[in-house]
A and B are shown apart, each in its own frame.
Chain A
Amino acid sequence: MGVRGGRLAVLQTRPITVQRSLRADDDGFDTEPATEATYTPIGVQEMLPGIVPPLLWTINGPMLEDAFHRLFADLGISARWGTGPFQAVGRFRGRAALNLSLLREASASMPGGSRAEVERQYLGRVLTQDEEPRPSGGKLGRGLAGLRALRIRRRVEDEVLLFAEAVEWVLALGVSLSALPIGRLLAYRTRVRDLAHRGYAVEVAAAAGAAAAYRGLEMALERWVGKEEAPLWAQRITAPPTPSGQAGCNCAITLWDLYGEHVSGRAPYEALMAGPPDGAEERIKALGGEGERFLAALGAAMRHFGSMAVYGGPTWDEDPAFVWECITRCGGLGPTAAPQVRLAKTRSDRDEAFRELQARLRGSWKWRLSRVLTGQIVDVRGRVLRRLATDAAGFLSLRERAKAALLVLGGEERRIILEAARRLLGSGHIARPDDVFLLADGELEEMLLGGEPVSSAEVMRRRVALQRAHDGEPLPETFEGLPGVEALTLVSGDVLEGWAASPGRIRGRARILRSLADGRDLREGEILVARSTDPSWTPLFLVAGGIVLEEGGPLSHAAIVAREFGLPAVLNVKGATHLISTGEDLVVDGTGGLVARAAGEEAA
């Protein structure tokens, strides 16, 4: 400060702050990519599919991030975490992605994990021996990691059971949200969120446990039946061992049961089939007693399913058109299409496969000789095999159960969000109910407590940016820094290769589905071809004859449900939605991991 020529001059210094200039498709909630990190949308799409609006990202993102931190801490994995709030997950052009570099780095310390396994699970790549880094820590370190995994395994199992049951009973409380004062509403939301936080941690831990258990089974089978056959046997003997394993198919099973109990051979059947599914509700309501009972049961079921895909995301009862479509389809399917029949068949196939495998192993002279030489009065390796198969199947079920429970709880979170939207709309803080999804979680809470509202111009800017992101290209399979537009390098031909996710072989017409809404066009026996699926797509698995997906691995939701329903499935077929057209005659070989155009297949 100084005086010069009768003027007071003040020199002020302050740190230079630079505001991130936002791209047209950035609503301000995209993450800054970690330095030199590689990201992939594969794997996270099942939990956070498509465009994730700011509210859902600010709710789900931190919980998912924290779940990875907890898992790494439990397993004693020392990853190089950066300083930003999001390290394990990120949001780019409105879509969620996983930090693949971090997973690669941590994979060597995970039980049953390796870089090759990460590449196989996420990208469907097989590493050469030169590419596979030597595992760090030596045998002792890996042994200790295995022991740690064993220690946390039982805990994960208990946590999943606790979480799933707690969710059921929290819903049973039937809290009337509109009657709660704002303080209570926020307190209730905090408790529900705490439970969801726990659920995310459990889901990620169960997924890691499932991967480890499944890999453990595959490795044992590689020793006993060879590398070629091990993946197929692993698929065949890991159908869910308990009814709780059906959690992933619950919505499909419930819809089928409702159809059987209230519609089939009863008055609502005529009303349902009398016109398009869009007007079915009105037609059934007009029936009175019987129709109303069916509608009440359907409404209760839809409320119970919770969110369709993202925790806190749209619920089934908000957009029942898809459900009506599925209910109508049930009428065209024969009794053998019943999920229970399919699940029972899957289980008997599994038992048959296990007996076949045991007979084959016990029949080999090497097996018998080593059994005699090592004094095994009981067939110890047979017991080990059964144990490994039960563990793998058990963990797959636990993972599905945790995911299903998280989505059910997501329905309650959604109710809270919509109640908040109702109140903000009433007080004039937002112009439209769905504006609430363009707010961050913190902003929503601030506004509920009477804080400064987010300007309508800012809300509009976010809406436009999200729309641009929605209209833009999806994220590439992998990317470093900011994602570019995916450059597809497709190998066209009559035969496409992918991951054999569910055994079996079927021929049918292809149906490309870009979104769940396209599912209305899927006809019975058609091959469902899509980029990826999430739990909300499960009812379509009742109708489809086979599954072909661009993304996913042997442990993804689609693979598990396809195995439960006995549908041939090939996953990780690069560019399937570009190379295959709707109406094409396809042969899906879920055993060999091949998708062939029928003409080519016939020639072969």
Chain B
Amino acid sequence: MAPGGWSLALLERRPHDRPPRRADGRGVRPGLMGAGILVSGGILLVDGIRKLMPNRGVRRQVVIARGVRGVVAGVARAAGLDVRKGDLSQRDLRSRWAYLALGLTLVGVAALMVRAGVAAFVHHGTLHGNPWSVGLALSLGVPFLLAGGLALAIAARYRRCPGSLLRLVGRTWLGRLRPLPEDPTERALALIPVSRAEPTRVRPMEGGDAP
């Protein structure tokens, strides 16, 4: 225990209390069983996560849609059609619980980092008295703290957040990517970057159409 009540169990070395076992083949079966249990656990975990994420795959969908839009815009421009700008990366608010969980996690990670850096500085050990350990911990911890604070602020105010914060949500990972519209007309408007009112604005070149 360090002065001031700090402890850092992770940095404490523990002596081997048992001699290493010899490889005699007796561990094969438990190893196989362990692997089976681990794989099964992994499968169940993945199943659970999938059930919790009904919107998974939206990011991929949006990336593909951006590609489609780019291709179609290129073709339309070549044909002389008027191409308008658009944004397929709009984001919405996540659920309030998600912000709360995210905020608490980020703040917790930030606190752990700062605590570990300070503990390393205070305790007798390799990094004792080294200001880099504190500097590094702070430089890593502060962004986490800020991000966590933002998430908690959004969780607290949610739709009543200030406009600047909502804009931040709409453009960064703080928000959830908006899925493409299911309705064919809206989808077409999102993906065809052409003003339908003006199909062609090109004038025939001199000499007319014929070569």
Contact = CB atoms under 8 A, between A and B. Distances in A.
A377 B209 CA distance: 72
B86 interface: no
Contacts of A424: 211
Interface string A159-190: 00110011001101111101111111001101
Interface residues of A, number: 43
B211 A174 contact: no
B161 interface: no
Nearest to A449: B211
A162 B67 contact: yes
A173 B75 contact: yes
B78 interface: yes
A55 B144 CA distance: 61
A520 interface: no
A520 B130 CA distance: 89
B36 A180 contact: no
A502 B166 CA distance: 56
A361 interface: no
A380 B35 CA distance: 11
Contacts of A169: 68, 72, 188, 191-192
B199 A176 contact: yes
Contacts of B41: 377
Interface of B: 29, 32-37, 39-41, 43-44, 60, 63-65, 67-68, 71-72, 74-76, 78-81, 188, 191-192, 194, 199-200, 202-205, 209-211
Shortest 5 CB-CB distances between A and B: which pairs? A375-B36, A375-B33, A377-B40, A374-B36, A181-B205
A169 B192 CA distance: 6
B211 A166 contact: no
Interface string A327-351: 0000000000000000000000000
Given A162-B67, A375-B35, 5 more contacts: A158-B63, A179-B200, A179-B204, A181-B202, A429-B211
A378 B44 CA distance: 8
A191 B75 CA distance: 5
Contact of A158 (B60, B79, B188, B194): B60
A165 B187 CA distance: 11
A447 interface: yes
A166 B67 contact: yes
A158 B204 CA distance: 38
Contact of A427 (B63, B74, B191, B211): B211
Contacts of B43: 378, 380, 383
B210 to A, nearest CB: 5
Contact of A162 (B32, B39, B64): B64
Contacts of B203: 181
Contacts of B205: 181-183
Contacts of B202: 179-181, 184
A176 B188 CA distance: 19
Interface of A: 158, 161-162, 165-166, 169-170, 172-176, 178-184, 187-188, 190-192, 194-195, 373-378, 380, 383, 423-424, 426-427, 429, 447-450
Nearest to A160: B64
A215 B198 CA distance: 51
A174 B81 CA distance: 10
Contacts of B44: 377-378
A103 to B, nearest CB: 30
8 contacts: A162-B68, A175-B76, A184-B78, A187-B78, A190-B78, A374-B36, A427-B210, A450-B211
Contacts of A429: 211
Contacts of A162: 64, 67-68, 71
Contact of A174 (B35, B199, B209): B199
B39 A173 contact: no
B75 A380 contact: no
Given A188-B79, A191-B78, A377 B37 contact: yes
A178 B74 CA distance: 20
Given A169-B191, A173-B72, A188-B78, A158 B64 contact: yes
Nearest to B67: A162
Contact of A173 (B33, B65, B76): B76
A161 B200 CA distance: 28
A181 B41 CA distance: 64
Contact of B40 (A161, A174, A180, A380): A380
Contacts of B210: 423, 426-427
A448 B211 contact: yes
Nearest to A174: B199
B206 to A, nearest CB: 9
Nearest to B74: A191
Nearest to B38: A375
Contacts of A426: 210
Contacts of A195: 71, 75
B211 A375 contact: no
A429 B211 CA distance: 9
Contacts of B194: 173
Contact of A175 (B29, B37, B79): B79
